[in-house]
Structure 1
Amino acid sequence: MTPLIEAADLKALTPGTYTLIDARGFGNSRERYEQGHLPGALYVDLEQLAAHPEDAAVGGRHPLPAAAEFAGLLGSLGMTPDSHVIVYDDKAAANPAARFWWMLKAIGHSQVQVLNGGLQAAIDAGMEVTTDLTAEPQATTYPVPAGFDGTVTIEEVMEAAKDPARMVIDVRETPRYNGDTEPLDLVAGHIPGAVNIPYLTNLAGGKYRPAEELADQYEQALGKVAPEKVIVHCGSGVTACHTLLALEQAGIKGAKLYVGSWSEWSRRDLPVGKVSPDTGERTETPPAEKK
């Protein structure tokens, strides 16, 4: 099963043979869902896909929930390990749609896809949008997984960023990577040694680029680095999943997620890399000099 499903293929599926999830997240996402969603879509908020830490220095702003909590969410959505799950959002999967896809894959749930182009692609394909709220499904008992596979610790990221046989990819927008601006976290800049491949490069016209184009892009970027030696991160471990999905769509499997991402690193008094917007010169600021 490919990570992405096109709107035309979703439209052709028989209702009741799959579970449809509207996972927009951020801001007034519930209000946006109520103002118009695909018939039968169940709403999932980003806050249901993350724990709620007291200190973002340990795990970042959106750490993973406990496996038992996630299993409880899946059960409340009427899912079983055999469910075909299709998830969409209204931001080309840069919001929780890709995160939900990754979390399901990370616990071994194989039948999950993201709607390519999200809600707008469905509308463009002539699919109906409704304001009728979807009835709650009959709850199931989803088996509690042992945990989430495919993650790395901050200590592993420290080592990987220094190792030429490994690669740490920062998918944030280039001004954030360069250290020109930081709208969400305490310090601007990037993990020294990380390379910047913004998640927006995965897209063309609001949809993921064709698999062969994604393969060309990432094979060139990775060079001789094996996919399983690749670590992907963003600000808080959500948007990074967009690139992890792109990699899998391209047939490049095995990359791992640094869940804490920049939101954790930037709160740990660790070195910070920056790039001059004028000269392109790279600098690394020792922890004591960041402030």
Structure 2
Amino acid sequence: MSPLIEINDLLLADKTNLVILDSRGFAGAHDRYLAGHLDGALFVNLDPDLAAHTENAAEGGRHPLPTPEAFAELLTRLGITPETRVVVYDDKAGANSAARLWWMLKAIGHPQVQVLNGGVQAAIDHGVALSTEETVPTPASTPYPVPAGFNGTVNIDEVGKAAHDDSRLVIDVRENARYLGQTEPLDLIAGHIPGAINAPYMLFNLDASGKYKPAEELRAAYTDALGNVKPQDTIVHCGSGVTACHTLLALEHAGLPGAKLYVGSWSEWSRRDLPVGKENRY
């Protein structure tokens, strides 16, 4: 199954056992959902649904993963079973909570999950009438099985080793100014993990309309960026493990699956009194 679905294909899809999730994040997420969402879409919030509450970002970053038990409870509440087809979108071209939720479902082995290419804006551009009525979920009659964990993650120690290993690659997907340490709007220290390359997700992944670039174009760009490193030996991170999932989806769409997610990302690394890089490396 492709990780992406186009709005026209979604409109024509069999709605049997299909759950559409409007996954947004940060301030005003629920208000933005109520202002206009796809009819029948259930609201999912980055905080607290897709991240655990933390008082110390030095241990896991600003958006650590929830426990497998909590995630299974969320899926059950949303009426999702292992057989459910899930389509998720957000209002940030999939770059925010939608890609994070897609990755989380993939990481627990859920077989049918896609992101709406272009997010809610694609629906607006297509002329779809949005709803302002909140959809109340019907919980699944059988609890979603608690997964063993989220596959495809690495910890801070492994990232530090990989960044200085020529057979591995660490990709920082934040915008170049943050990577270079010229600005840092969210974390305490500006800069990047020494040895990591910069591949800003908006520049690499998105076209002018806010949709993912064609698979062959993405494959060419990331094949060049990876060089001789295999996708499965690649680690992707961002500020707090959210937008990095946009690049993980891009790699999957490009036919280059297997890269790992450093969930803690810069928000964890920068709080550990570890080396900081500010040189440019693409």
TM value normalised by structure 2: 0.96
Q: CA deviation at 1:54?
A: 1.6
Question: Are the counterparts in 1 of residues 192 and 276 from structure 2 also a CA contact under 8 Å?
Answer: yes
Query: Secondary structure of the equivalent of 1:110?
Result: coil
Equivalent position of 1:203 in the other structure: 206
Identity, in percent, stands at 65
**1 CA distance for matches of 2:39 and 2:106?**
25
Which of 169, 175, 185 does residue 167 from structure 1 map onto?
169
Q: CA deviation at 1:125?
A: 1.7
**1 CA distance for matches of 2:60 and 2:136?**
35
Once the two structures are overlaid, the 10-residue window that deviates more, 126-135 or 194-203, is: 126-135
Alignment-mate amino acid for residue 246 of structure 2: H
Q: CA deviation at 1:133?
A: 1.3
Question: Are the counterparts in 1 of residues 169 and 226 from structure 2 also a CA contact under 8 Å?
Answer: yes
Question: Are the counterparts in 1 of residues 72 and 147 from structure 2 also a CA contact under 8 Å?
Answer: yes
Alignment-mate amino acid for residue 247 of structure 2: T
Equivalent position of 2:44 in the other structure: 44
Once the two structures are overlaid, the 10-residue window that deviates more, 108-117 or 120-129, is: 120-129
Give the greater-gyration-radius structure (CA). Answer: 1
Q: How does 1:110-129 map to 2 (within 5 A)?
A: 110-129=111-130
Query: Secondary structure of the equivalent of 2:277?
Result: strand
Once the two structures are overlaid, the 10-residue window that deviates more, 9-18 or 200-209, is: 9-18
Equivalent position of 2:228 in the other structure: 224
**1 CA distance for matches of 2:137 and 2:106?**
24
| 5+ residue gaps, structure 2 | none
Query: Secondary structure of the equivalent of 1:113?
Result: strand
Q: CA deviation at 1:136?
A: 2.3
Question: Are the counterparts in 2 of residues 11 and 127 from structure 1 also a CA contact under 8 Å?
Answer: no
Equivalent position of 1:261 in the other structure: 265
Alignment-mate amino acid for residue 119 of structure 2: G
Alignment-mate amino acid for residue 265 of structure 1: W
Alignment-mate amino acid for residue 160 of structure 2: M
- Tell me which stretches of 4 or more aligned residues in structure 1 moved more than 2 Å: 14-17
Q: How does 1:186-197 map to 2 (within 5 A)?
A: 186-197=188-199
Q: Aligned residues, how many?
A: 277
Which of 197, 211, 217 does residue 213 from structure 1 map onto?
217
Equivalent position of 1:148 in the other structure: 150
Q: CA deviation at 1:139?
A: 3.2
Q: CA deviation at 1:223?
A: 1.1
Equivalent position of 1:83 in the other structure: 84
RMSD: 1.0
Alignment-mate amino acid for residue 26 of structure 1: F
Equivalent position of 1:100 in the other structure: 101
Equivalent position of 2:28 in the other structure: 28
Q: CA deviation at 1:252?
A: 0.2
Question: Are the counterparts in 1 of residues 81 and 140 from structure 2 also a CA contact under 8 Å?
Answer: no
What CA deviation, in whole Å up to 9, does each residue of 1:12-36 have, x standing for no partner? 1133441000001111010000111
Equivalent position of 1:6 in the other structure: 6
Q: CA deviation at 1:100?
A: 0.1
Alignment-mate amino acid for residue 130 of structure 1: S
| 5+ residue gaps, structure 1 | 283-291
